[in-house]
Chains A and B, each alone.
Chain A
Amino acid sequence: MNVKILVLYNNSCPSFEEAMVRIKEVIQENNFSTELTTKLLTSDEEAEKWKFIGSPTILINDKDIDPVDSNVFRLDNCRVYIKEDGNISPIPSKAIIKNALLNN
């Protein structure tokens, strides 16, 4: 059965396309069977509805790949991911994406 990947994003953070490239690379490199879709959010109301804490937010079968304990949902926010070396990035590492797919 295909795993459903949904990428939520906004128009203000510049890393969406790079995140998509990375997700597709992980899928190809690991032969995951997935259904990859995207959704552009355009209002704070949508951000609230989707519990969107920043762009890009990646849901695998409706679960955030890197859950954060936050109840602040804002459209115009870029997501913070922490890499394996402890450094900050606006997009998740391949390892975060792969682990989320494996653990789904």
Chain B
Amino acid sequence: MPNIKINEPYLNFLLPSTEGKDYSLDMPSLGEIKVVIFSCNHCPYAQAWEDRIIAIQNSYKDKGVSVIMISSNDPVQFPEDNFEKMKERHSDKNFNFPYLFDESQEVAKNYGAERTPEVFIFNNIGLLQYTGAIDDNYEDESSVKSTYLKDALNSILADEKPVIENTDPVGCTIKWK
């Protein structure tokens, strides 16, 4: 269960990215609307949704939306998720958003994230507006009926509350130390 409730402010962090830069949510270079996604390299659910996340960042970049992806998995249990492999994944997939390593797992714990992928959307004043899944079909994008993340972003951009504020995230468990 997320530790941040709807309309509560984001919990800031400072984490290293796969591109060698540290990121926090109050950086001016990020868009006003932040989409924080807990994800990882190895999980098939995370992989299945990656291209859709890239497409969403492409579509919404000019509307002040920034995706920030975080991996909090224990790289000892899952070497596929270590920082070097994260850098390779970023390069291979040509991510158009920062991919951050939460080595201490404190950020995932603070947010109450449990799955990969799991989305938290914060509006232009930093309040949580949506948390949960990206859409309702991990396997086949053409069969998606509910585009939760996009719908929430469209509502926020129209100065409206998302109709759906919470869904159950579907994916692998975060691998705790």
Whether the Cβ atoms of A78 and B48 lie closer than 8 Å is: no
Cα-based distance from A14 to B44 in the complex (angstroms): 11
Asked if A51 is at the interface (CB within 8 A of a chain B CB), the reply is no
Task: Please classify the interface of chain A as helix (H, G, I), strand (E, B), loop, or mixed, using the class held by over half of its residues.
Answer: loop
Q: Given A12-B173, A14-B170, A78-B43, A90–B48 Cβ distance below 8 Å?
A: yes
Contact digits for A57-90, partner B, Cβ 8 Å, 1 yes 0 no: 0000000000000000010111111010001111
With an 8 Å Cβ cutoff, the count of chain B residues facing the other chain is 14
Chain B residues near A88 (CB, 8 Å)?
A: 44, 47-48
- CB proximity of A89 to chain B, nearest CB, Å: 5
Asked if B77 is at the interface (CB within 8 A of a chain A CB), the reply is yes
Chain B residues near A89 (CB, 8 Å)?
A: 44, 48, 138-139
Can you list 25 pairs linking A and B with CB atoms under 8 Å apart?
A13-B172, A14-B170, A14-B171, A74-B77, A76-B173, A76-B175, A77-B42, A77-B172, A78-B44, A78-B172, A79-B44, A80-B42, A80-B44, A80-B47, A81-B44, A87-B48, A88-B44, A88-B47, A88-B48, A89-B48, A89-B139, A90-B45, A90-B48, A90-B139, A91-B139
